[in-house]
Structure 1
């Protein structure tokens, strides 16, 4: 793994010389996020840590893409770090609960191990990894891509029903890159604008370390435009962690707004049929000369609990949460958001998530200011 660290370091600091070539595109970013949290008196964080928690996160990423005829090679490395009293408290919770609560990705279930812990102690951890490593072949009607990459399905804005592969958390602020997975992707484009996609995601079992069918995923996704209705229709069939999933999504233009909806029916290992859905509507406005974007969304978690006692949550639910596929234990949620462009380089975001079953909620407010062409400053607060 030391060779992997050296390779990523070489990629970060030396690959810029290659950008002079016309068929190579080089990009990247550096992100630093300090934060402070005040914990409630009866919270688990207060039990394991202090009433005030500090954390520092950084994200360094370098992307290199090279094209040659129908072939495209993509390699993207990242160096992620997390430290502070928030991290040490999280480590204590992990030991107490017997679960890995780390916010840093690993490759324990991936086909290839392209990650290594560069540093790991009580107050700080860092990981160096390849988040993308793929080769794509493209023709007029076909796309074949193999390697570490990201794929997304569905129409969710805050919550995601059809996106089974490393979806974003409903509280995620940084959505530039999904965590990549080792997979085979193929797409065929029909002349009428429809297309069909196939995905195979082999995974290793955490118990044996071997590639096993019951922890892997297979998916077929069909998408077609609906010109007469001004919308689109999609259908998804997957076998995911040995469970069959059947889903469908629809988008329609309603006046100046766009409505979306996804439905997923899952047949669990216990022969239980679970129904989940997400539906939302969004619209852009101009008010007093300012661009405004608004949305509202309803999400039903078919595996979620409709009461406050989460101690008896089913294994299917806790398994999805531990894999990063679900982020809530409850059943019914409402989400709403507003983005206001006060000035061309300054935007404010207001997001609210409400748990309809127990009355709890989560508010998120942030300011995003483009200071320079390549520098953005974000300041925000989360209020549970």
Structure 2
């Protein structure tokens, strides 16, 4: 590791998080300024898939994230937040931790990335910092308006989603606490007398190149609740694609069921097939449910099936599409959370004590039979410290000469240890 990289990493390792503190509060409580800080360390050991043509040694990676969040209450109706983050990644080779660690790709929906390199010696070491949140919110009885860099999550899915359009998490991603911010205007309109009906308008803006807006999105959402059923209708544009979709969730006895369906009108680039043989229309769908079994402290079981028309029909038969720049751009943007078309997921989670939670998940492609088993142990040692131990074991046809022959068979067996220090 080069000297600048070692110095930068030492800074992150020796920096301690400050306790959450009120920097200012007015006598009447109307105005308040609060600072919250977090430090996360992740250590990962990976044993690569058994490729008969490549003798690859086990690898490792370490990721550190230092984050400061400044929140302000500016009277009865206005609030604001700014979040600044530094992250340092040291890895033995490219791709270590892919799909498990947070994405390092450039965020797609930002007017300016505001993400800078302090040290860039990839793949061995990279130290970056970014402005991940910067927004102002107005809270009125009939309107919730947020302007600026913010997190926007859509959909009902647990592991997957058909309508989560902006910076979705990967299905095997371990740390889902901070969704990356996008530059947007989000207005939610409500009729106080009709609490079961609301409407949203979400405008998201991409990078500005040579004075022109490279990409933009405009999504309208209508939401209604009738009894135990909650439904949404979404219409609009995401990047170069038009979208029409909907979600529904319902309580059925002691169980919960949810579904999502979306159709995208595309220009055909980066699409492997599309709907009914045309690349101009792509469908995504999700159906799932969950139930809490009355054992121990409650065993939560969640089952989902996901179809992504942006995925590859058969990776083993057509691995070459992975090298298509248009496909790569769509995948990194989050158009598809999976490389293939179909995925099934089963997740089991429970609390053993007030401090210890365990879980296991099963992901599988019904097309080629490959999949991954993930386990997690979370220990809340105190209000300030949380420790995590995770493991992932993939199965399926191994790659040949580095070329994937199945969706999950190229993944590495991975052991993940994490520590989170909060104020």
The aligned counterpart of 1:224 is 224
Q: Which residue of 2 aligns with 1:4?
A: none
State the alpha-carbon separation in 1 of the partners of residues 289 and 102 from structure 2. 34
Q: Which residue of 2 aligns with 1:68?
A: 74
Which of 199, 203, 210 lines up with 1:200 in the alignment?
203
Which sections of structure 2, spanning at least 5 residues, go unmatched? 1-11, 269-278, 395-423
Q: Which deviates the most, 270-279 or 293-302?
A: 270-279
On the 8 A contact 1:244/1:266 being kept in 2, the answer is: yes
Aligned-pair CA distance for 1:43: 8.4
Q: How does 1:325-340 map to 2 (within 5 A)?
A: 325-340=335-350
Q: In the alignment, which residue of structure 2 is the partner of 1:36?
A: 45
CA shift, 1:107, in A, is 5.4
1:204-226 Cα deviation digits (max 9, x unpaired): 26xx454436x211111111101
Aligned pair in 2 of structure 1 residues 14, 360: CA closer, same or farther (>3 Å)? closer
Partner in structure 2 of residue 282 of structure 1: 290
Q: Taking structure 2 as the reference length, what is the TM-score of the superposition? A: 0.78
Contact 2:160 2:337 in 1 (8 A): no
1:19 is aligned to 2:15: no
The number of aligned residues is 356
More contact order relative to length (CA 8 Å, sep ≥ 6): 2
Q: Is the 8 A contact 1:80 1:104 kept in 2?
A: no
Structure 1, unpaired ranges of 5+: 1-8, 95-100
Counterpart Cα distance in 1 of 2:52 and 2:302: 31
Number of the residue aligned with 2:155: 154
Report if the CA contact (8 A) 1:262-1:277 is conserved.
yes
State the Cα deviation string for residues 107-145 of structure 1 (Å, max 9, x = none).
576213422111111421111111100011111110111
Task: Please tell me whether the aligned partners of residues 91 and 125 of structure 2 are also in contact (alpha carbons under 8 angstroms).
Answer: yes
Distance 1:243 1:315 in 2: 17
Shift in alpha-carbon separation, 1:43–1:107, aligned structure 2, 3 A = farther
2:235 aligned partner: 237
Q: Distance in 2 between matches of 1:102 and 1:251?
A: 28
**Counterpart position of 2:332:** 322
Structure with greater helix share of residues: 1
The equivalent of 1:376 in structure 2 is 386
Report the aligned-residue RMSD.
2.7
